[in-house]
């Protein structure tokens, strides 16, 4: 049985549980509140209130005990100089637990662990961060619009086109003059005389081809006649022997 055992184990080992409580305490001292599960908030509540009592004592020994848990000099300074003096006239009850309902997914009970008297500081800090981020987004479209309004340089393009036209204009008459000079130098008569020469050469070639074909045919006929004569002689000799 767990009689007189107030330690909430939170499903962790002793070292893991100690590290968890130290991290929650550091977040509460830095941001004045933290959102976590209800079980962790109740466990961290007594841990944080003990640190605040160290800050109210404001002795060297108390600072060393607080530094042993927080392991951060800036957080120890905030605890002893800013948070603890506000609770000088208050005996306990430095924190409150605000229930938020069940978490979607595992259904765990959620809560906010908050320092009493620091609610207004937390609400004022959030809008400041948003106001700083808004002007940066508005500057970008103004720069883009200024870049678009600047007209492109059109004058150098026009000068280039005019120069190119001036260079191209004198070239056209020179080309026409060359063509006329070539036409005058080359007469049309030799072209007429070359055609009959070409036709005569073609006729001679055709005649030679015909003669060669006729000679081949005559040679084939003579060969066929000699072969027939030889066959007849061989046939007559066989009959005579029989």
Residue 70 CA to residue 208 CA, distance in Å, equals 121
41 compared with 224, residue with greater pLDDT:
41
**In the structure, what pLDDT confidence band is assigned to residue 148 with cuts at 50, 70 and 90?**
low
Identify the pLDDT of residue 142.
Answer: 59
Per the DSSP assignment, residues forming a β-bridge with 12 are: none
**Residue after which a domain boundary falls, among 134, 155, 181:** 134
119 plus 18 within the same structural domain? yes
210 vs 131, which has greater pLDDT? 210
- For residue 162, is it within any domain? no
Q: What's the rounded mean pLDDT across residues 5-14?
A: 91
Please tell me the predicted confidence (pLDDT) of residue 127: 44
Domain at 34, CATH number: 3.90.1030.10
> In this predicted structure, which of 122-131, 154-163, 205-214 has the lowest mean pLDDT?
122-131
Per-residue pLDDT band at 166 (split at 50, 70, 90): low
Give the domain-ending residue among 101, 118, 134.
Answer: 134
Residues 14-30, mean pLDDT to the nearest whole number? 94
* More confident position, 142 or 188: 142
Structure tokens at 33: 């509140």
pLDDT at 134: 63
Please check whether residue 186 lies inside any domain of the structure. Answer: no
Residue range 124-131: average pLDDT?
47
The number of folded domains in the chain is 2
pLDDT tens digit sequence for 24-68: 999 999 999 999 999 999 999 999 999 999 999 999 999 999 999
128 and 43 co-located in one domain: yes
Identify whether the C-beta of residue 74 lies closer than 8 Å to the C-beta of residue 30: no
Q: Domain span at residue 53?
A: 14-134
Tokens 């968890």 belong to 20
d(CA 232, CA 21): 134
Please state, rounded to an integer, the average pLDDT across all residues of the chain: 78
Return the minimum-mean-pLDDT range out of 25-34, 75-84, 141-150, 203-212: 141-150
Residue 225: predicted pLDDT: 80
What's the full length of the chain, in residues? 242
Confidence category of residue 192, pLDDT binned at 50, 70, 90: very low
Average of pLDDT values for 138-146?
58
CB 41 within 8 A of CB 97: yes
What one-character-per-residue DSSP string does 109-140 give? EEEEEEETT-HHHHHHHHHHHHHHHHHHHHHH
Residue 202 — pLDDT band, cuts 50, 70, 90?
low
Residue 158 belongs to a domain: no
Smallest CA-to-CA distance from 113 within 92, 97, 93 is with 97
């Amino acid at each position: 049985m767990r009689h007189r055992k107030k330690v909430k184990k939170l499903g962790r080992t002793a070292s893991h549980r100690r590290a968890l409580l130290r991290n929650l305490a550091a977040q509460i001292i830095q941001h004045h509140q933290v959102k976590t599960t209800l079980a962790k908030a109740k466990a961290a509540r007594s841990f944080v209130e003990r640190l605040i009592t160290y800050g109210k004592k404001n002795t060297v020994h108390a600072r060393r005990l607080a530094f042993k848990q927080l392991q951060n000099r800036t957080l120890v300074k905030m605890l002893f100089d800013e948070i603890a003096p506000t609770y000088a006239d208050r005996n306990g009850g430095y924190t409150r637990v605000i229930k938020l309902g069940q978490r979607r997914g595992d259904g765990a009970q959620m809560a906010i662990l908050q320092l009493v008297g620091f609610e207004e500081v937390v609400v004022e800090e959030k809008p400041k961060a948003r106001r700083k981020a808004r002007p940066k987004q508005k500057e970008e479209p103004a720069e883009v619009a200024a870049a678009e309004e600047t007209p492109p340089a059109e004058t150098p393009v026009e000068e280039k086109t005019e120069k190119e036209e001036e260079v191209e204009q004198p070239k056209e008459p020179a080309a026409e003059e060359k063509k006329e000079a070539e036409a005058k130098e080359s007469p049309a008569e030799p072209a007429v005389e070359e055609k009959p020469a070409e036709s005569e050469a073609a006729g001679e070639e055709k005649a030679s081809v015909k003669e060669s074909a006729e000679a081949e045919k005559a040679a084939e006929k003579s060969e066929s006649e000699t072969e027939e004569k030889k066959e007849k002689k061989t046939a007559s000799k066989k009959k005579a022997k029989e």
